[in-house]
Structure 1
Amino acid sequence: MLVVVSDTHAREESRLQGRTAEAVREADTVIHAGDFYREPVLDAFEAAADTLRAVYGNNDDAAVRDRVPEVRTVEYGGVRFAVTHRHRSGDTGLTMLGRGRDADAVICGHSHRPRFDDSGGLPILNPGSHAQPRGNRAAHAELTPNGDGRGLAGKLVTPAGESFETFRIEGGNAE
């Protein structure tokens, strides 16, 4: 399972609770789409996740920025993701970033609003914030291979374990 989280905004701990904590511990790979805030939070995620693939966000301190990139490409289950915290040009910029990385989908954070949008050029997944939802539903994303080796079934899930949106991402660019 691939788990996607973002926007922790903490000083010392991961602030993982309930299903989000379980999912991170169970995951094959965890993607954090930025805004850990302080380096001990990054350390806590590395301790909780077997494989962490992270990017830094606009609120991350210099120590976090020294350890993780601003943008990265992650492949999982036959799907290639371009991962960043945000793009100043919104969804258009995110789509261009994904195309430039030959991605099947883009993962971002920043807004604290969980959403999956496949109406544009590339699917865009924002897991929201598990720890500081800022008026939105607290959430993370869980994705599992479809079994055909070319796509993932996904869902947005609250820390209480409620799944409130499902989606599918097709692979094809990843080798």
Structure 2
Amino acid sequence: MGSTSSGRPTGARDRDDEGRARNARPRDGLGRPLPYGADGVARQPEGVVRTPEQSVVEAQELLDAGKPFHAHEVFEDAWKAGPEEERELWRGLAQLAVGLTHAARGNVTGGARLLRRGAGAVEAWGSPVGAGRSPVGAGRAQPYGMDLAGLAAWARELAEDVERDEGSVDAQARAPRLRA
């Protein structure tokens, strides 16, 4: 099988074994597609079942390395594979990671919006019952050692900074600390 001038294999379709579309283009550390044939960052495997503690540790390592897009994939796996009562927590964490990804890419509006949405989700999940809050997660301000109030404050501050400065941020320098 040959390849096109862009380095993409001819006749190849980016599909997995079940026929779902999979973009095989290499990606940079923020998940942006690179030209076929370029050296990219290894992709985060999808569908990995981890313990919650493993998810937190792995996501923190990726955030610390300036790879929030990849951390989002870890949170997404936890959201999809975890217990129903924790899905909103993991989805909120994934939104925080994607918000940081967009902010690092220079997407001011999308970054700020996702950071605030994720902040609200993690804060609501760990808040005491009341003010219309669900009892799921009530009083769990630090599940798996994570400081949900601190993460929400970090996300809102970053959203304000992104909107004020209207530019991209350094994902590694602005990575949150998941645990207190």
Does the alignment reach a TM-score above 0.5?
Answer: no
Instruction: Please tell me whether Structure 1 or Structure 2 has the larger radius of gyration of its CA atoms.
Output: 2
Higher strand share: 1
TM-score bin (small chain)? under 0.3
Quick one: higher RCO (CA 8 Å, sep 6+), 1 or 2? 1
